[in-house]
Structures are given as structure tokens and as C-alpha cells.
Amino acid sequence: MAQQHVLITGGAGFVGSHLAERLLDRGSAVTILDDLSTGNYANIAHLEGHENVRLLIDTVFNEHLMEDLIRSHDRVFHLASAVGVKLIIEQPVKTIQTIVGGTEIVLRYCSRYRKPVLITSTSEVYGKGTHIPFREDDDVVTGPTSRHRWAYACSKALDEFLALAHWRETRLPVAIVRMFNTVGPRQTGKYGMVVPRFVQAALRNEPIEIHGDGRQSRCFAHVSDVTAALVTILDTPACFGKVINVGSDEEVTIRDLAERVVEITGSRSELRFVPYSDVYGDGFEDMQRRVPCIERLQELTGHRMTRSLDTIIRDVAESCRHRT
């Protein structure tokens, strides 16, 4: 079989760098495009010089480059995005522009050159949905536009609409993945990602800050399981024109998560509860539960998550120890 040439936008990010490794392992040639706005060169430093890797520090807003790249690659994984609730609140204009504008460019050229593309959306799109587990065709309910927090969900939802519109009008082979919390080595705590933040505090025996009362729950998938799902989805034509949840359905409260982190790392950290308003300002809204229904993923691809939360915590701790 001829070697596949794959473009990953946001390839120096947390998920993108793991995805690049997975694609290289199966013999693809990988081009990583990243402006390093939230990504980190250290994530991909070990790949530079690899015979099948091309690294471009540039932006998806460089349209000439994007056109050239998409024309000359076989498929595209679009991961470049403003990411993380904290960033979204601090830089609302950039968030909307990056998510909506960047995806518009990628879809436009993938449509022109008929290239299969995977768009990464987010469980945030479910907004304030309370019908658990979240199914892809559920109604979405978000808050008012005066609360910047919802800009992330609405921008990603617009990406989904645009991708589905390309599928409907011209049968662009596009798959849309709603990713739930994905965790693993290399993710930083800088953007409010809860597991690395807890693990870093635990390793330093510093207080672990829990936002709110800790009774809110989440599901965490290992990045390795998630990148396997992304690759399989783009390999499966039945996934085109569909929105697909990708995540774990093992639910844990944030308080229990903190306790498990303390236990697994052998830490002396205490748990400290901090009101949301102290962290994100007044009027911040968080969801109590976020659990994916993963039937569609399983039916279309047969994919299953294989790594438990304890494995995830151990892997993140191991990677944090190496970084410090």
C-alpha cells in the first residue's frame, strides 16, 4: 500500500503530538502544522529529524500554505484550536476567531481538493444538557451570549454545522468528533485541565484546589485510546457526515478524582475547596455531569477504551516527574 501523507493541524499540541506518533507507527508520513500558541515544541522535539516528519511552525490562517498543504496531503486531522475554559474567558475574541475562522479555511480547501478530514469538536457543545448519557442527536442548551464561557461551545457547534453542510452539499468526506475529557502524558495544567493540575500539586505536596464542592463529575479517557479512535474514524467511510462522541464512560466526581490522585502518588496534599467565582469571576456556570454515550462510536468502528482512570493518573504522574 502506498504511504499515506497526513496533515495534522495543531500537531504540537497535547492530542496532536500523540496522534502524530500513532500515525508514524503505522508508516504514514506526517506534516505537523502548529503556531505553538498553546502547543509546545517539547511535545514534538523527539520527532524532529524523523524521516517521515515535516514540522511547520505556522498558522492555519496562512491560506496559501493551507491550500498547498491540503492539496498535497491525502487526509487531514484538524486539531488546531483555542482550548480550555480559562483561555476562553481570558481571550474571547481570539477563541472565536481561531475556532470558527480556522475550521472554515480547513473545510474550504478539503472540499476543493476532496480530502477526507476529521474535525475535533468537544463535549462542551452539550452545554447545560442534563439528559445523561449525552447522545450525539440530543438537543443542545447553552447559556446567554453575555457569558463568554459559552463562546467555546457555540464556536465548536458552528464548526460542526459547517462541516455537516459541506457533507450535505458536496459529500465532503468529513467526520466530526465530540471529544470528552482526554488526559495523558504531556498535557499541561496551564489551561485548567484538572488531572494534570491535581497531579502536579500532589507531587509537590501542595494543596489540591477543587473548584466548587467537588460533587461535579467527569469521565476521563487516555489520550492513547482517543488517538486510536480518531485514526479508526477517519479510516471508516461510514463515519463521514456524522458527529461521534469519543470518550470514556467511567464517571468520577472531582472530589474522588483528587483523592485517587493523592493515594496513587502517595502525596501529603490536602484538598482545598475554592468557589468558582474566585477562579473564573462571577456568573461562571459549570455542568454537574458530563457522560458520553459511546454506542455510535462502537457501532461504527468497534472501538473500545481500554485504559482505566488509575492507569491515566499513573501515566500523568510519571510524565510530570520526568518534566520536573
Ligand X SMILES: NC(=O)c1ccc[n+]([C@@H]2O[C@H](COP(=O)([O-])OP(=O)(O)OC[C@H]3O[C@@H](n4cnc5c(N)ncnc54)[C@H](O)[C@@H]3O)[C@@H](O)[C@H]2O)c1
Residue closer to ligand X (CB basis): 47 or 60: 60
User: Annotated catalytic, 152?
Assistant: yes
68-97 residues near ligand X, rule: CB under 6 A: 79-81, 83
- Select from 127, 34, 28, 31 the least CA-distant residue to 79: 34
Decide: is 136 part of the binding site for ligand X (CB under 6 A). Answer: no
Quote the least distance from Cβ 266 to ligand X, whole Å: 26
Residue closer to ligand X (CB basis): 219 or 267: 219
- Tell me the CB-side half-sphere exposure of residue 69, using CA atoms within 13 A: 31
Decide: is 182 part of the binding site for ligand X (CB under 6 A). Answer: yes
Residue closer to ligand X (CB basis): 223 or 264: 223
Spell out the long-range contacts of 279-282 with Cβ–Cβ below 8 A and sequence spacing 24 or more.
Answer: 279/211, 280/85, 280/86, 280/89, 280/149, 280/211, 281/89
Decide: is 103 part of the binding site for ligand X (CB under 6 A). Answer: no
3-state secondary structure at position 5: strand
DSSP state of 272: E
- Beta carbons of 175 and 246 less than 8 angstroms apart: no
Among 102, 127, 133, 192, which residue interacts with ligand X (rule: CB under 6 A)? 102
Decide: is 12 part of the binding site for ligand X (CB under 6 A). Answer: yes
Tell me the residue length of the chain.
324
On the 0-12 / 13-18 / 19+ scale of CB atoms within 10 A, 144 is exposed
Locate 260 and state its grid cell. 485517587
- Beta carbons of 304 and 172 less than 8 angstroms apart: no
Decide: is 173 part of the binding site for ligand X (CB under 6 A). Answer: no
Decide: is 160 part of the binding site for ligand X (CB under 6 A). Answer: no
32-71 residues near ligand X, rule: CB under 6 A: 33-39, 59-61
- Please identify which of the residues 109, 126, 152, 280 carries the catalytic annotation: 152
Quote the least distance from Cβ 256 to ligand X, whole Å: 19
Decide: is 267 part of the binding site for ligand X (CB under 6 A). Answer: no
Residues in the interface with ligand X (CB under 6 A) total 28
Quote the least distance from Cβ 194 to ligand X, whole Å: 10
- Beta carbons of 29 and 237 less than 8 angstroms apart: no
Residues that bind ligand X (CB under 6 A): 9-10, 12-16, 33-39, 59-61, 79-81, 83, 98, 102, 120, 122, 179, 181-182
Catalytically active residues, by annotation: 152
